[in-house]
C-alpha cells in the first residue's frame, strides 16, 4: 500500500509541476500585465465611481478628463505598479491552478460544467492567496485622489511595504483580507468567463480549424462582458471594503462580513436606487472587456510561440 501511495503521490506531484502548466501561468500573467497597462486609466475611472459616492456618474471620457484636469495626467496611472504586481501574481496563481486542474480532471475533452468547477476552485485559491495585495493596491491607487465625498480621508503610504506595515500595525492583520467574502462570491466572475471562453473557443476551433487573433479577441471580450455584468454590484462592495473606510457595526467573522455586504448593497439602493449598484459599469465594461480580450490574445500567442520554440505540442485538452 505504501508503494502504491508513493507512486500516486509522485504522479500527482509531477502533474502539478509540469512545464506546460508553468508556461500557461507565465503567459497568463504576461498577458494580463500587458493588457492592464494599456487600459489602466479606465480602471482609475471605474474605482473612483465605485468608492466616491458623491462623484456624478458621467461618461468615462468626461471622468478621465476631470481627473486629469484636477490631479494631473499622471494621476490616471496612479497605483500602476502595485496593481500590476498584484495582477501578475493573481493571474499566475489562477492560470497555474486552472491548467493544473485541467491536466488532472480532464481525461479526454473538457465540458462547460468541468470548466465552471475548475474556474471556481482556481478563483477561490487565488482570492485566499492574493487578497492582501489587492487591499494594499486599492488604497495606493486612491491615495492623493480628490474625493467629492468629504467622509473619505487621505492615506499616507510611502509604498507597497509601508502600506502593508501600516495596515497591520494600525488595523490588524485581518484587515488585509477585507472584502474576502464578496471576493469569494466573485470567483463566479472568472469561472463564468473561462467557461464561456473555453466553450466558444472549442466551437470556433471545431475540426482542427485555426482560430485567428481577432476571433480570440472577440471571444475573450464576449466572455468577460457576460461575467462582469452579472457580478458588478458585488465588485462595487468589494472595492469599498478594500478601501477600508466603511464604518461597519464592528462584528467580525463570516456573519459580520455577510452583514457588511448586505448593508452596503441596501444602502446603495436606498441612496441611488437600483441603478446605483451599477454606477461605473460603463468604465468597468470598457476596461475589463478590452483588457480580458487583449490578455487572451497575448496569452494564446505566448503559449503557442513557447510550445513551438521548445518543439512541444499542447497537451492540455480544449
Rounded to 10 degrees, the C-alpha dihedral 110/114/119/124 comes to -140
**What's the confidence (pLDDT) of residue 198?**
86
CB contact at 8 A, 277 and 233: yes
**What's the confidence (pLDDT) of residue 7?**
42
290 phi and psi, to 5 degrees?
-65, -40
Give the C-alpha separation, 213 to 216, whole Å: 5
Tens of pLDDT, residue by residue over 33-64, are: 999 999 999 988 888 888 877 777 678 888 89
Residue 153 has which C-alpha cell?
Answer: 480621508
Give the C-alpha separation, 235 to 183, whole Å: 8
Rounded to 10 degrees, the C-alpha dihedral 186/192/197/200 comes to -160
Average pLDDT on 186-199 reads 86
DSSP string, 222-233: HHHHHHHHHHHH
| Residue 317 confidence class, pLDDT cut points 50, 70, 90 | very low
Give the C-alpha separation, 75 to 286, whole Å: 19
Q: What angle do CA 129, 240, 28 make, to 5 degrees?
A: 40
Query: How big is the chain, counted in residues?
Result: 318
| Residue 316 confidence class, pLDDT cut points 50, 70, 90 | very low
Eight-class DSSP state of 174: G
Give the C-alpha separation, 93 to 128, whole Å: 11
Residue 144's region, left for phi above 0, alpha for psi from -120 to 50, else beta, is: left
pLDDT > 70 fraction of the chain, expressed in percent and rounded: 86
| Domains within the chain, CATH numbers bracketed | 1-310 (1.50.40.10)
Rounded to 10 degrees, the C-alpha dihedral 189/215/296/282 comes to -50
Burial (CB count within 10 angstroms: exposed 0-12, middle 13-18, buried 19+), residue 68? middle
Average pLDDT on 98-112 reads 78
pLDDT > 60? residue 73: yes
CB contact at 8 A, 76 and 40: yes
pLDDT > 70? residue 253: no
CB contact at 8 A, 306 and 193: no
Handedness of CA 127, 130, 136, 140 (dihedral sign): negative
Residue from 105, 130, 108 nearest 117 by CA:
105
Amino acid at each position: 500500500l505504501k508503494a502504491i501511495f508513493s507512486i500516486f503521490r509522485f504522479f500527482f506531484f509531477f502533474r502539478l509541476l509540469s512545464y506546460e502548466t508553468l508556461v500557461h501561468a507565465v503567459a497568463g500573467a504576461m498577458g494580463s500585465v500587458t493588457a492592464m497597462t494599456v487600459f489602466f486609466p479606465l480602471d482609475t475611472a471605474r474605482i473612483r465611481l465605485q468608492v466616491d459616492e458623491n462623484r456624478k456618474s458621467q461618461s468615462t471620457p468626461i471622468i478621465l478628463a476631470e481627473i486629469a484636469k484636477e490631479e494631473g495626467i499622471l494621476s490616471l496611472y496612479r497605483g500602476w505598479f502595485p496593481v500590476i504586481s498584484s495582477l501578475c501574481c493573481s493571474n499566475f496563481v489562477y492560470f497555474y491552478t486552472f491548467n493544473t486542474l485541467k491536466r488532472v480532471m480532464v481525461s479526454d475533452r473538457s465540458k462547460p460544467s468541468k470548466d465552471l468547477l475548475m474556474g471556481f476552485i482556481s478563483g477561490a485559491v487565488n482570492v485566499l492567496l492574493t487578497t492582501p495585495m489587492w487591499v494594499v493596491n486599492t488604497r495606493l491607487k486612491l491615495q492623493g485622489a480628490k474625493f467629492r465625498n468629504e467622509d473619505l480621508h487621505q492615506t499616507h503610504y510611502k509604498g507597497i511595504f509601508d502600506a502593508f506595515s501600516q495596515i497591520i500595525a494600525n488595523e490588524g492583520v485581518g484587515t488585509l483580507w477585507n472584502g474576502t467574502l464578496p471576493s469569494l462570491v466573485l470567483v463566479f466572475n472568472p469561472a463564468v468567463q473561462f467557461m464561456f471562453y473555453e466553450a466558444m473557443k472549442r466551437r470556433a476551433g471545431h475540426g482542427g480549424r485555426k482560430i485567428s487573433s481577432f476571433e480570440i479577441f472577440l471571444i475573450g471580450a464576449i466572455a468577460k462582458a457576460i461575467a462582469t455584468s452579472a457580478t458588478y454590484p458585488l465588485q462595487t462592495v468589494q472595492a469599498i471594503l478594500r478601501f477600508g473606510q466603511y464604518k461597519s457595526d464592528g462584528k467580525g467573522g463570516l456573519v459580520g462580513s455577510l452583514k457588511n455586504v448586505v448593508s452596503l448593497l441596501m444602502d446603495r439602493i436606498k441612496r441611488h436606487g437600483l441603478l446605483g449598484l451599477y454606477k461605473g459599469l460603463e468604465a468597468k465594461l470598457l476596461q475589463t472587456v478590452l483588457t480580458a480580450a487583449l490578455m487572451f490574445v497575448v496569452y494564446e500567442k505566448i503559449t503557442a510561440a513557447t510550445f513551438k520554440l521548445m518543439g512541444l505540442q499542447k497537451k492540455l485538452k480544449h
